[in-house]
Amino acid sequence: MSVFINKKTKLIVQGITGRDGSFHTAQMKDYGTDVVAGVTPKKGGTKISGIPVFNSVEEAVENTQANTSVIYVPPPFAVDAIYEAVYAGIKLVVCITEGIPANDMMKVYPFIKNNGARLIGPNCPGLISPGESKVGILPGTIVKKGNIGVVSRSGTLTYEALWALTSAGLGQSTCIGIGGDQIIGTNFIDCLDAFENDSSTKAVVMIGEIGGTDEEDAAQFIKKKMKKPVVGFIAGQTAPPGKRMGHAGAIISGGSGTAEDKVNALNKVGVPVAASPTEIPQLVKEALKDFKDGKRRRPINPKKEPKKKKK
């Protein structure tokens, strides 16, 4: 099993004739993803990498029974592309496009929920279930099929964490980049819940960053609902207040959203937090040993007894 995508995923690429769309379409197809169609207005009837192109998502769905869409269109048209995909009956929409205004996302978000669809992104690298399907820009060469779920706000740190896990022999069930914008379609709790209910996932790596309270909210969910071990990493530990660090959502404001706040919140619920991505594999191995039947067998970072002085 896996989370959100698998071998049954039938993918449409919106913006398939653009530079990014055409390049990543070939990458996804080569990985084994069932890319059934592309969509670019006025380009219907053509083909990209042997994949038929349609003028609209509705037309593509009618001809291919697609259930998933990935969006590579420019920011001014990305929100319309999301509306179009959901209206056509697509249940999973992955938006790679960055630079979409938060106000536009606030309008489209309820439309997605009311239609029973799921959005991952925007401004995200997508997701991959090793050996099954890849939707987005995550490189298939650094993943390995296994039982560790990965969810991250940062694309680059996702790559680092995956490489570290794979190099340590820890394969992954599904890796999800949720994006770092202020308004996103799928958050940490959504992914943690999915991993908790996925029989192929035995532990979860959660990669957060400064800004907002998503990691603190996730910590409370872990405390109340998770029976699987979770290992964390928080980016931006040296970031100054009031400075945006990369993502639109990665900003410390009003004294909240600091790395220290997030690390403390996770530690309080028994989630060990790595100091760097290279420490993640060892913490995962320790966490897997510490858990049995959904219960921790020994405390995180137990206090060491002071050594007695020799007389």
Which alpha helices (DSSP H) does 34-94 contain, by range? 57-64, 75-87
Cα–Cα distance measured from residue 120 to residue 249, given in angstroms and rounded to the nearest whole number: 15
247 counts as catalytic: yes
Q: Are 44 and 59 in contact, with CB atoms under 8 Å apart?
A: yes
The residue whose two tokens read 């004739």 is: 17
Query: How many whole angstroms separate alpha carbon 152 and alpha carbon 187?
Result: 9
Answer whether 34's CB lies under 8 Å from 5's CB.
no
The C-alpha atoms of residue 54 and residue 35 are separated, in whole angstroms, by 13
- Side by side, the strands of the sheet bearing 172-177 are 133-136, 126-129, 172-177, 145-152, 203-209, 230-235, 273-274
Classify residue 125 as left (phi > 0), alpha (psi -120 to 50) or beta.
alpha
Tell me the two tokens of residue 149. Answer: 């779920």
Shortest CA distance to 204 belongs to which of 166, 149, 157, 154?
A: 149
Which of 11, 13, 61, 76 minimizes the C-alpha distance to 40?
A: 13
Tokens 């401004």 sit at which residue?
A: 123
Residue of 247, 250, 280, 291 marked catalytic:
247
Catalytic positions = 247
